[in-house]
Structure 1
């Protein structure tokens, strides 16, 4: 049995793992999800890592960290602080040691530029919020039914962006077994970019699933089976 630390991406919360957790538990594993302070403009990715570390403090055995999307910035910071059995980047944007996320976002191959059409103007705290459910559906939840998309969109939070300008505090990636799980129908993070990053940055095992950017909602049983194998 392994313990999975499930780390959500931008705008999301621990709620997004609700369909995956029972699938993992049915396979004999334990899962811990936490809410990152993504709506707090004073919080950095290192602060996000503090929250994850606090949530998994009592885990004495094998810990597998799963980071979705923007959580790719956070999970290597956790692995640099405490023992981790494996890092799993799920449709993720891994941190780049010494670089800021803003620098990474200048790569035109990384993200579908249409995502900005779904966001409102930043608020007074430089936080962005999804305002167009159709764009959200197309890019993030494309394999989910519209009832699920509406359910998820009501739970999304503002995402602070000020800390995107801060360089990653890592000087190198932590030495830990690493897997990158991409979805070949991901319309948010470019699968071709993900394949290159898994190979050239992370030296990671690559696993490909069908489907959209959010397999924890659209195909939780398939994702759980992959994670079970990685445990």
Structure 2
């Protein structure tokens, strides 16, 4: 499916080039007739770096829907992927379909519990390799929230050269050997509003489980406050109904090894969200400081948005401008 999308884009691009080339050739012939010389054909415009967009936990490629056309309008190819177990790759516990809720929701083992951080990394690396094989320049790889861990691990797999820049949007960017989250939490990390909203013990279900289909209005309001505090009510409700309930706990607690020579050699940007209730700004600052200590010759560029955890929905224009400023 990914190849079909890319091939479709290439066909469109080649068609556009053919139209432009024909127009240039016609103009050149006219000029040659007037001057008695043959006009040189203009070279085809260079391809711009594509954006590869990687969503966060409980989300899918759908969350970039307001960003994709803004980046494409600026001439950049855009590819948003579903990570394993997310979006159209999601699988749901049977208890999630039962209303009113039963105790099994808190105990049923997750059907995606076996998905690993390595699976996430391979999915991102595979998308990068497919873009490169199709003839595109090295992409700008953007990860939101948990997607930061996915691009973090993929960058270590790929090394410099295949990725133009890593961009962490309110994302996990752990230091070498640390997981995205730790149990018990890192003493330096400020608390998130997430923990009270979890609906199971991850040691029992193998997943961090939310209940976005809950009929409890106060619980749903808590999820909106967690993810979409600045998003308009209609969009926030739509987004809430698109969330999947589980993310595999193993992916979140697996240490991520990074090296100065591979991950640390790729330019990186952190987009800091100052009104974030999921990954608090103080934790974002801590991760940036740790990364800069590890790679003092390649420090993190920090861009700031006065945003909640989901600027792709709450302020898409501003986020798109921030991303385009990196090209």
- TM over 0.5, yes or no? yes
Match of residue 48 from structure 1: 120
The alpha carbon displacement at 1:92 in A equals 0.8
Of the candidates 163, 176, 184, which is equivalent to residue 84 of structure 1?
163
Q: Does the 8 Å contact 1:73/1:93 carry over to 2? A: yes
> After alignment, is 3-12 or 103-112 more displaced?
103-112
Of the candidates 58, 62, 69, which is equivalent to residue 22 of structure 1?
69
The alpha carbon displacement at 1:198 in A equals 1.5
> After alignment, is 135-144 or 160-169 more displaced?
160-169
Match of residue 286 from structure 2: 196
- Provide the C-alpha distance between the structure 1 equivalents of 2:271 and 2:180, rounded to a whole number of angstroms: 20
Match of residue 160 from structure 1: 248
The alpha carbon displacement at 1:114 in A equals 2.4
Secondary structure of residue in 1 paired with 2:126: helix
Question: What's the CA shift string for 1:7-43, capped at 9, x where partnerless?
Answer: 1111111111111101111111111111112452212
Structure 1 residues 133 and 110, CA gap change in structure 2 (3 angstroms) = farther
Instruction: Tell me: higher relative CO, structure 1 or 2? Use CA pairs within 8 A at least 6 residues apart.
Output: 1
Secondary structure of residue in 1 paired with 2:62: helix
Q: Does the 8 Å contact 2:52/2:140 carry over to 1? A: yes
Of the candidates 58, 65, 71, which is equivalent to residue 141 of structure 2?
65
Structure 1 residues 6 and 136, CA gap change in structure 2 (3 angstroms) = same
TM-score by length of 2: 0.65
Structure 1 residues 44 and 169, CA gap change in structure 2 (3 angstroms) = farther
Secondary structure of residue in 1 paired with 2:264: coil
The alpha carbon displacement at 1:108 in A equals 4.6
Match of residue 11 from structure 1: 58
Of the candidates 192, 195, 202, which is equivalent to residue 113 of structure 1?
192
> After alignment, is 30-39 or 2-11 more displaced?
30-39
Match of residue 35 from structure 1: 82
> After alignment, is 210-219 or 110-119 more displaced?
110-119
- Provide the C-alpha distance between the structure 2 equivalents of 1:119 and 1:224, rounded to a whole number of angstroms: 31
1:126 lines up with 2:221 in the alignment: no
Match of residue 306 from structure 2: 210
Secondary structure of residue in 1 paired with 2:153: helix
- Provide the C-alpha distance between the structure 2 equivalents of 1:140 and 1:175, rounded to a whole number of angstroms: 32
Match of residue 229 from structure 2: 142
- Provide the C-alpha distance between the structure 2 equivalents of 1:17 and 1:121, rounded to a whole number of angstroms: 28
Cα root mean square deviation, aligned: 2.1
Structure 2, unmatched stretches of 5+, are 1-47, 91-111, 212-218, 293-298
Q: Does the 8 Å contact 1:126/1:160 carry over to 2? A: yes
The structure carrying a bigger helix percent of its residues is 2
The alpha carbon displacement at 1:116 in A equals 1.7
- Provide the C-alpha distance between the structure 1 equivalents of 2:278 and 2:248, rounded to a whole number of angstroms: 19
The alpha carbon displacement at 1:5 in A equals 0.8
Structure 1 residues 112 and 23, CA gap change in structure 2 (3 angstroms) = farther
Equivalenced residue count is 231
